[in-house]
């Protein structure tokens, strides 16, 4: 119940940050596979157990920043003004997310991920969780009234659009093209 009560939380956050920064730095410098958890812990000057107290797995160290991805997607649905059509809202949000993830600064991290099967698998797994959350949000929207299957499919398609665009030569155009398809698919499910 105590919100900003001080030093302990700050120190914890600092420790977490230091671990994440150290890890990303080492990964980018020497490669994901070559750097062990023990290396990260030593360099960050913490115990190995402390690393796992802050991050669920080695892979999670790399995806520190993409915390709010899921929230942004579901909010694009739930916080949309009444009567605002669904697909354009999703389209806009995905466009923004893709731009964020293909920005200049994210390039080295993307290369890191592409270079490690373990990281790619982890990212896919995250994506599926996001798709499930989005599907739930879609099914809960009273204005849509589509079948559960239609909601789940649309959620997956949306995540597909994001995943494809992140790896495409022209991310923006890819989002637009896939969303033309999603729009048609969605219309085909109208009651």
Partner DNA sequence: TTGTGAAACACTAACGGTTAGGGTTATCTT
Partner DNA sequence: AAGATAACCCTAACCGTTAGTGTTTCACAA
Binding site for a second copy (CB under 8 A): 120-122, 124-125, 128, 147, 149-150, 152-154, 156-157, 160-161, 163-164, 168, 173-174, 177-178, 180-189
Contact partners, residue 23, CB within 8 Å, separation at least 6: 35, 40, 44, 61, 62
Q: Does 57 contact DNA by CB under 7 A?
A: yes
86: tokens are: 């669904």
Interface with DNA (CB under 7 A), residue from 43, 50, 157, 168: 50
Residues in 29-48 that interact with DNA by CB under 7 A: 35-38, 45-48
43: tokens are: 């360099």
d(CA 112, CA 60): 13
d(CA 100, CA 105): 9
- Beta-carbon count within 10 A of 120 CB: 13
Q: Does 113 contact DNA by CB under 7 A?
A: no
Shortest separation between residue 166's beta carbon and a second copy, angstroms: 12
- The residue ranges that bind DNA (CB under 7 A) are 2, 5-9, 11-12, 15, 35-38, 45-50, 52-54, 56-59
């Amino acid at each position: 119940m105590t919100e900003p009560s001080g030093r302990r939380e700050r120190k914890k956050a600092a420790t977490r940050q230091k671990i994440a920064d150290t890890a990303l730095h080492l990964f980018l410098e020497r490669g994901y596979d070559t750097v062990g958890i023990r290396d990260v812990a030593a360099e960050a000057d913490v115990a190995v157990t402390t690393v796992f107290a802050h991050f669920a797995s080695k892979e999670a160290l790399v995806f520190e920043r993409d915390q709010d991805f899921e929230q942004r997607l579901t909010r694009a649905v739930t916080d949309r003004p009444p009567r605002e059509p669904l697909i354009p809202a999703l389209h806009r949000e995905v466009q923004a997310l893709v731009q964020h993830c293909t920005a200049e600064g994210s390039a080295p991290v993307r290369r890191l991920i592409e270079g490690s099967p373990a990281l790619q698998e982890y990212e896919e797994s995250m994506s599926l969780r996001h798709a499930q959350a989005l599907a739930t949000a879609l099914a809960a929207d009273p204005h849509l009234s589509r079948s559960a299957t239609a909601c789940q499919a649309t959620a997956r398609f949306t995540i597909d659009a994001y995943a494809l665009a992140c790896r495409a030569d022209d991310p923006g155009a890819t989002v637009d093209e896939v969303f033309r398809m999603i729009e048609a698919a969605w219309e085909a499910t109208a009651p």
